[in-house]
């Protein structure tokens, strides 16, 4: 596993070592000891989640705050998504900045998103299965979000707006400026 820091401090890309032969393949998708030694973090994942979505589905930008803030390690099992992390840590030199990367089942690249970030993804392929590990349990009362098209974030989601499919909840999320009073990381 090779770990590469992104433009956002504490946010990492993980490139896995892949072994393939005529039988198929094997790769180690996560090694806590290697990750913690490489990053200096102490991450202990407690919950795994998976979703399946069709082209144009945009999930996000979501976060949990307070004692239920979550770090996530995300990857795509099959298909392709545009994955986006937004730094919401007040006082961070990259507060309000985002990092986006295409993740696919073929690349096996993963993105580690620390606590204090909003996260979302857009499905670019016909279908995609998305998998992520969390270092804290989900708590509905601690969830929050930022609207995907906040002009201050200026995220290029790679698809025309008429192709975007949102949940009712994600359609009414506030812009970052309005959500700032709820941020508690």
Residue 89, domain CATH: 2.60.120.10
The model's pLDDT over 70-113, given as tens digits with 9 standing for 90+, comes to 999 999 999 999 999 999 999 999 999 999 999 999 999 999 99
Give the separation between CA 127 and CA 111, rounded to whole angstroms. Answer: 20
pLDDT score of 11 more than 90: yes
Which pLDDT value is given to residue 170?
97
Q: Tell me if 138 is assigned to some domain.
A: yes
Give every CB contact of residue 33 below 8 A, 6+ residues apart in sequence.
Answer: none
Full residue range of the structural domain in which residue 86 is found: 44-182
Can you tell me the mean pLDDT for 32-41?
A: 92
Percent of the chain with pLDDT over 90: 86
User: Does pLDDT of 185 surpass 80?
Assistant: no
7 in a structural domain: no
Catalytic member of 12, 62, 119, 148: 62
Write down the pTM of the prediction.
0.93
- In 3D, which of 54, 57, 50, 51 has the Cα closest to residue 126? 54
Contacts of 24 (CB under 8 A, 6+ apart): none
Range list of H helices, the chain: 32-39, 168-171, 176-179
39 belongs to a structural domain? no
Contact 119, 113 (CB under 8 A): yes
Active site residue 132: yes
Q: How far apart are CA 93 and CA 104, in angstroms?
A: 29
| pLDDT at 138 exceeding the cut of 90 | yes
* 123 assigned to some structural domain: yes
Instruction: Exactly one of 12, 98, 119, 132 is catalytic; name it.
Output: 132
* Total number of domains constituting the chain: 1
């Amino acid at each position: 596993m090779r770990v590469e820091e992104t433009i956002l401090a504490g946010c990492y890309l993980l490139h896995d070592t892949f072994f393939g032969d005529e039988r198929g393949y094997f790769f180690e998708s996560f090694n806590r000891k290697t990750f913690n030694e490489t990053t200096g973090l102490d991450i202990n994942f407690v919950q795994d989640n998976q979703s399946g979505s069709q082209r144009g589905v945009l999930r996000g930008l979501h976060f949990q705050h307070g004692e239920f803030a979550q770090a996530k390690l995300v990857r795509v099992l099959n298909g392709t998504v545009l994955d986006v992390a937004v730094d919401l840590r007040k006082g961070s030199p990259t507060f309000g900045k985002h990092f986006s990367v295409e993740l696919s089942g073929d690349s096996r690249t993963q993105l580690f998103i620390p606590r204090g970030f909003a996260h979302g993804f857009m499905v670019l392929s016909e279908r995609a299965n998305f998998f992520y590990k969390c270092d804290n349990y989900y708590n509905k009362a601690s969830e929050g979000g930022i609207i995907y098209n906040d002009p201050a974030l200026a995220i290029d989601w790679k698809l025309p707006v008429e192709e975007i499919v949102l949940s009712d909840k994600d359609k009414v999320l506030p812009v970052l400026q309005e959500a700032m009073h709820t941020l508690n990381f």
